[in-house]
């Protein structure tokens, strides 16, 4: 056959190889060599010079699939079958963008045959020649980025035009259809507070110490933010002194306006929402403190932040987008606190998001929820309801497979004086100052009625909220069922970070049941794919040499749909 000169175990790779062969040309020692071999694994586009006998033993190391050198030497492998411009390319499973995907992968996805057309062969040949010319540059870049796991961009809409991660975004102002659409990207990223890192050093025993120093970590984090270039950043564990001295100024130099809410008490970190001033203007900023000194249940210092943003584009109505960011309590055995903190955040969103016509503007909720997919807290966010009767406090977040705390959630979970109903909205406080005995008697009768109502509410174990939210991520890889992970350290590798959004009715990527009470909605155009635990441990987990947080950044692209 065509590859009869190759060992059988190399022939098996033939389906995924693209190679140029020219039997009429022979590679001799006197021939100038501009060739390369490339293949992708966890280290995409690692380049190796062609094995020329003169410097083969000194400069080239055989890839593992060639087996021992003796076996390779005894096989019928002949170097004179290569041409001066030949290159091997294995399809990269973690391409940066759709435009860089190998043609073989594109055909498989579209159900077409693997045979290359003449035009495609010409295109591939040109790509190979260009790649060979830049092999030295790639080797240099690869040496700098050693140990990087690439993440690819997944598209849900063919008309998505934002590819800012890997190329400059160009907007055609003359295209009226383009002007009528507003596309933007949102990132959620727990950047790992330095104080928390040092206080929980047992989680990072797998890391070299130099990688855990802030002066090493911050340039990496900032470079990641620059590269992903999101229009909105929702950051958690932003340490206050670092924010004040370098994070804020660095982000402002990139065109962001920053809003920040530090945790209450003595906790030195908080949440930040930063947005590109070229894309949005600020309508309102609404911090949420989950600590309440008068309510024993709410004795933790977590916070949230809710922004109402105005897109900078001409539209039929005064469109607005509500962006929320939070970091809920970690403690796996305090699901009662987690649910109450979530209810307080939802109540604030419900007070910020309503429009003049009574509908809600589109909502995006980002953050570290310290809860796993499928847990009761996660289902409450997505389904808009939760019956928690008989639910153990330690099972709310699903963080522990065998929770130690078996105490059952009380009914209701939080006291009446919190001022938030079971529908997760602020209750209207009616304060009447009575001046005569008759009015006071009337008020007393009203109070008795309210007590009866409260008693009936206590019997209700159902929580609800007004938002039908979809998750940007599906949490499992559909081909294998292997879980996605957003955080990975010495103790665990799970998903706890999310981007939830109110989907438009025509959003095919959303879960069923988009809420009709929203003003328009959001269409998910694409997302930056997550990784598996196995992927991350190939680069020694998180943090590592290139990823300086113990969380991965989540990134999604949306299109604002007007109703």
Among 298-307, 313-322, 492-501, 504-513, which is the least confidently predicted range?
504-513
The radius of gyration of the chain from alpha carbons, rounded to an integer in Å, stands at 28
Q: Using CA atoms, how far apart are residues 132 and 49, in angstroms rounded to an integer? A: 10
Distance CA 328, CA 305 (A): 12
Cβ atoms 520, 562 nearer than 8 A: yes
Q: Is residue 204 part of a domain?
A: yes
| DSSP H or E stretch at residue 488 | strand 487-488
- Residue 245 structural domain: 186-426+459-562
* pTM passes above 0.75: no
pLDDT at 507: 80
Q: Where is 368: in which H helix or E strand?
A: strand 363-368
SS3 readout for 258-289: EEEEECCCCCCEEEEEEEECCCEEEEEEEEEE
Residue 397 has pLDDT above 50, yes or no: yes
* CATH of residue 291: 3.60.10.10
Q: Which among 356, 461, 360, 470 has a CA at the least distance from the CA of 408?
A: 461
Please tell me which of 130-139, 166-175, 410-419, 434-443 the model is most confident about, judged by mean pLDDT.
410-419
Instruction: Name the residue among 170, 138, 179, 144 with its Cα closest to residue 47.
Output: 138
Does 208 reside within a domain?
A: yes
Whether 533 is in a domain gets the answer yes
Average pLDDT over residues 185-210: 98
207 has a pLDDT exceeding 80: yes
Counting residues of the chain whose pLDDT is more than 70, the rounded percentage is 62
Mean pLDDT of all residues in the chain? 76
Q: Kindly give the residue spans of alpha helices, DSSP state H, lying in 12-91.
A: 56-59, 69-74
Write down the pLDDT at residue 82. 36
Nearest 5°: the CA angle 314, 315, 320 is: 100
Using alpha carbons only, give the angle 33, 36, 41 rounded to the nearest 5 degrees. Answer: 170
Helix (H, G, I), strand (E, B) or coil at 193: coil
Domain assignment present for residue 76? The answer is no
Under 8 Å between Cβ of 396 and 336 = yes
Residue 535 sits at the vertex; the CA angle it makes with 533 and 540, to the nearest 5 degrees, is: 85
In terms of DSSP bridges, do strands 46-49 and 182-190 run parallel, antiparallel, or are they unpaired? unpaired
Tell me what the mean pLDDT of segment 30-50 comes to: 38
Report the helix count and the strand count for the chain, using DSSP H and E: 15, 20
Asked whether residue 35 is assigned to any structural domain, the reply reads no
Residue 145 lies in a domain: no
pLDDT digit string, tens, across residues 431-466? 333 345 555 556 556 555 555 445 444 468 999 999
> Is residue 475 left, alpha or beta, with left meaning phi > 0 and alpha meaning psi from -120 to 50?
left
Tell me the C-alpha to C-alpha distance, in Å, between residue 234 and each of 16, 125, 269, 296, 365. Answer: 40, 43, 14, 29, 9
In Å, how far are 9, 61, 368 from 71, measured between CA atoms?
11, 15, 52
- What pLDDT does 228 receive? 98
Residue 181 resides in a domain: no
Number of domains the chain is built from = 1
Under the banding of pLDDT at 50, 70 and 90, the label for residue 473 is very high
């Amino acid at each position: 056959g065509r590859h009869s000169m190759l060992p059988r175990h190399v022939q098996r790779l033939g389906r995924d190889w693209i190679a140029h062969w020219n039997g009429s040309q022979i590679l001799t020692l006197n021939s100038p060599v501009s060739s390369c071999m490339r293949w992708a694994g966890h280290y995409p586009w690692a380049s190796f010079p062609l094995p020329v006998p003169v410097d083969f033993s000194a400069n080239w190391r055989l890839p593992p699939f060639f087996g021992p050198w003796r076996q390779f030497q005894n096989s019928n492998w002949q170097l004179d079958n290569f041409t001066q411009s030949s290159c091997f390319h294995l399809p990269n499973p973690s391409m940066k963008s759709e435009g860089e995907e190998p043609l073989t992968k594109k055909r498989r996805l579209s159900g077409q045959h693997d045979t290359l057309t003449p035009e495609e062969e010409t295109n591939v040949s040109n790509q190979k020649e260009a790649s060979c010319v830049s092999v030295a540059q790639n080797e240099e870049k690869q040496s700098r980025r050693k140990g990087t796991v690439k993440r690819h961009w997944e598209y849900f809409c063919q008309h998505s035009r934002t590819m800012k991660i890997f190329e400059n975004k160009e907007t055609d102002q003359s295209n009226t259809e383009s002007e009528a659409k507003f596309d933007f990207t949102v990132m959620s990223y727990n950047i790992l507070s330095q104080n928390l890192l040092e206080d929980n050093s047992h989680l990072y025993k797998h890391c070299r110490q130099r990688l855990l120093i802030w002066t090493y970590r911050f340039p990496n984090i900032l470079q990641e933010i620059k590269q992903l270039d999101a229009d909105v950043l929702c950051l958690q564990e932003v340490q206050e002194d670092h924010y004040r001295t370098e994070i804020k100024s660095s982000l402002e130099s990139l065109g962001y306006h920053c809003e920040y809410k530090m945790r209450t008490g003595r906790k030195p970190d908080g949440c930040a929402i930063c947005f590109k001033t070229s894309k949005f203007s600020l309508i309102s900023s609404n911090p949420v403190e989950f600590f309440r000194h008068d309510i024993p249940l709410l004795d933790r210092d977590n916070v949230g932040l809710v922004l109402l943003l105005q897109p900078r584009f001409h539209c039929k109505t005064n469109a607005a987008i509500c962006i929320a960011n939070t970091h809920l309590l970690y403690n796996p055995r305090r699901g009662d606190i987690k649910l109450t903190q979530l209810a307080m955040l939802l109540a604030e969103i419900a007070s910020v998001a309503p429009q003049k016509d009574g509908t809600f503007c589109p909502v995006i909720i980002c953050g570290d929820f310290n809860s796993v997919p499928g847990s009761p807290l996660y289902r409450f966010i997505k389904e808009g309801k939760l019956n928690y009767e008989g639910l153990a406090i330690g099972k709310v977040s699903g963080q522990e497979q065998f929770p130690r705390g078996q105490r059952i959630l009380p009914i209701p979970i939080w006291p009446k004086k919190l001022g938030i109903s079971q529908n997760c909205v602020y209750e209207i406080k009616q304060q009447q100052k009575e001046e005569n005995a008759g009015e006071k008697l009337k008020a007393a009768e009203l109070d008795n009625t309210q007590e009866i109502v409260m008693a009936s509410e206590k019997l209700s174990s159902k929580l609800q909220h007004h938002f039908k939210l979809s998750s940007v991520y599906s949490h499992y890889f559909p081909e294998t069922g292997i879980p996605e992970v957003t955080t990975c350290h010495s103790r665990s590798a799970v998903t706890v970070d999310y981007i939830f959004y109110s989907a438009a009715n025509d959003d095919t990527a959303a879960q069923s049941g988009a809420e009709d009470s929203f003003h328009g909605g959001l269409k998910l155009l694409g997302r930056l794919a997550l990784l598996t635990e196995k992927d991350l441990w190939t680069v020694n987990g998180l943090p590592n040499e290139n990823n300086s947080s113990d969380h991965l950044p989540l990134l999604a692209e949306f299109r604002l749909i007007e109703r």
